[in-house]
Amino acid sequence: MKNLIKGKSNLWEVVLGLEVHAQISSKSKLFSSASTEYGSEPNSQVTLVDAGMPGALPVINEYCIRQAVITGLGLNAKINKKSVFDRKNYFYPDLPQGYQISQFQHPIVGEGFLTIKTEEGEKKIGITRLHLEQDAGKSIHDQDFENTFIDLNRSGCALMEIVSEPDMRSGLEAAEYLKKLRTILQYVGSCDGNMEKGNLRADVNVSVRIPGEKLGTRCEIKNVNSIKFIQQAITFEAERQIKLLESGEQIVQETRLFDPNKLETRTMRNKEESHDYRYFPDPDLPPLILEDSLIDDLKKNLPELPDKKKERFINLYKLKEYDAEVLVSEKDVSIFFEELVKGREPKLVVSWLTGELFAFLNKKNVSLAESKVTVKKIADLIDLISDGTLSNRQAKEVFEVYLEGSKTAKELISEKGMAQISDEKELSNLIVSVLDENEDMVKDYKSGKDRLFGFFVGQVMKLSRGKANPQMVNKILIEKLKR
């Protein structure tokens, strides 16, 4: 079996499940009209409901309901026509109501699944449920050494908690699951997936067992906000649990935090059970009833999802599976590609998009959307390569300067005097000059020394100062040497 971890005395299997919190991309909160804009002044986006003022009643945001349903459809999940909002009771300074409005036994979305790529092929990961809940505020501990500050701007923002089955067996599988889930959320438009802003974060449930035995005691690692950290946290936690078990100790079910600086998890609090929260239906919110017509309408208008788009890209553009996978992994990239490939050679477009452009974005540490690179900017350069004005090598030489500057592709090429010589007559004259100067080598070539062909090409390129179109040089040279 793959993915097993070797301990001192046994091989161990890690069992993983994720609880992903995705903030819905809505302009207002789940139960109030307050804005959800990121980066505003602390406590500037708070209504009486968000502040937990007595007598302030919640009013549900219909848009958030629709987004939860469309997400459920994107996850191949059952949509529950009746769901119930509950009060989850616990005290924390940034939870002004003293409870969180959530869903417990009757969530809006039931069982579903998504598929991920693994070393052993495709694997189906079960989705247990998706429920709606309001976010808490934010405690700020680093403003001074004596006080903790509370910002309630985030209080009441709509969250979808998406709970997986314990179907993952490695940090890599957990990473692939989160990437795929993030992509689906972006495609249906329910969450932007921005982990740096906290719009997508995950709680990771980790347990270990000897293969074939019953599930072990799990520990929950809370609020991990990057895919890299999730993998690191799983590695440390699995090894920690194995060491304890092989030493004859027991695993204590608890909630832990991951320290990215020390690459370790540490105890946060004992793990609560559902009865600790004293769930009961929120008396201010009646059961949520969905009409068949709403679900059917959302189903009909469900956008093309990553797996379908990948299949279409492979069939329509004759792409390799790997390239198609890369192109559909980000919604912005797939849209960019489809605009760029119109009327152009797909292979050339994929090469420049996933090669040179991605390398540029990685170097600048920005996403495609953040870079402000337009389709036209890349298209103009690719068109010059296609029509022979510029070679691939020349284009790569000026690519970064071109993207960072304001000049058009033609202006930059003209300024640098880089335009390829693609005129057949001009190239023919250059080739004749080279052959006339090397008559003895021409005779040797014709007598069987084929390797001299590269010498002739090199001399033509040297004579043209690297501007001759290599493909045309090869073609004309072959014709000349046949005579």
Percent of the chain with pLDDT over 70: 97
Regarding whether 226 and 156 lie in a shared domain, the answer is yes
pLDDT of residue 64: 98
Strands 264-270 and 254-259: antiparallel
Is 476 inside any structural domain?
Answer: yes
pLDDT of residue 421: 65
Regarding whether 329 and 389 lie in a shared domain, the answer is yes
pTM: 0.85
Is 301 inside any structural domain?
Answer: no
Is 335 inside any structural domain?
Answer: yes
Regarding whether 128 and 171 lie in a shared domain, the answer is yes
Domain-terminating residue out of 274, 296, 318: 296
How far is it, in rounded angstroms, from Cα 254 to Cα 267? 7
Q: Which has more pLDDT, 13 or 478? A: 13
What total of structural domains would you count in the chain?
Answer: 3
Regarding whether 331 and 243 lie in a shared domain, the answer is no
Kindly tell me the burial class for residue 266, based on how many C-beta atoms sit within 10 Å of its own C-beta (0-12, 13-18, 19 or more): exposed
* Three-state SS at 394: helix
**Number of C-beta neighbours around residue 291 at 10 A:** 9
Range of the domain at 163: 4-296
Is 304 inside any structural domain?
Answer: no
DSSP 274: G
* CATH (domain of 448): 1.10.10.410
pLDDT of residue 272: 67
Q: CB neighbours of 27 closer than 8 A, spacing ≥ 6?
A: 35, 36, 37
- Confidence band of 419 (pLDDT split at 50, 70, 90): low
How far is it, in rounded angstroms, from Cα 303 to Cα 262? 42
Is 196 inside any structural domain?
Answer: yes
Q: Is the pLDDT of residue 62 over 80?
A: yes
Is 243 inside any structural domain?
Answer: yes
Regarding whether 21 and 138 lie in a shared domain, the answer is yes
Domain-terminating residue out of 361, 383, 416: 416
The DSSP element (H or E) to which 441 belongs, if any, is helix 439-446
Phi, psi (degrees; rounded to nearest 5) at 423: -75, 120
pLDDT of residue 418: 67
Is 303 inside any structural domain?
Answer: no
Q: Is the pLDDT of residue 68 over 90?
A: yes
Of the candidates 252, 262, 206, 198, the residue with the CA atom closest to the CA atom of residue 224: 198
Regarding whether 401 and 454 lie in a shared domain, the answer is no
Regarding whether 331 and 220 lie in a shared domain, the answer is no
Question: 234-265 burial string, b = 16+ CB within 10 Å, else e?
Answer: bbbbbbbbbeebeeeeebeebbbebeeeeebb
Decide if 109 contacts 131 (C-beta within 8 A).
yes
How far is it, in rounded angstroms, from Cα 174 to Cα 195? 15
How far is it, in rounded angstroms, from Cα 274 to Cα 295? 30
Q: Is the pLDDT of residue 411 over 90?
A: no
Regarding whether 364 and 282 lie in a shared domain, the answer is no
The DSSP element (H or E) to which 22 belongs, if any, is strand 11-23
Regarding whether 391 and 433 lie in a shared domain, the answer is no
Digit-coded pLDDT (tens) for 194-231: 998 889 999 999 999 999 899 999 999 998 989 999 99
Digit-coded pLDDT (tens) for 446-477: 777 878 888 877 887 787 777 777 777 778 88
Q: What's the Cα-to-Cα distance from 444 to each of 107, 218, 448, 477, rounded to whole Å?
A: 82, 77, 7, 15
Regarding whether 472 and 371 lie in a shared domain, the answer is no
Average pLDDT of span 273-278: 79
pLDDT of residue 433: 81
Q: Which has more pLDDT, 71 or 390? A: 71
Regarding whether 254 and 341 lie in a shared domain, the answer is no
* Three-state SS at 62: helix
Q: CB neighbours of 247 closer than 8 A, spacing ≥ 6?
A: none
Is 162 inside any structural domain?
Answer: yes
β-strand partners of 161: 21, 131
Averaged confidence pLDDT in the chain: 91
Regarding whether 43 and 19 lie in a shared domain, the answer is yes
Domain-terminating residue out of 386, 416, 446: 416
Q: Which has more pLDDT, 274 or 162? A: 162
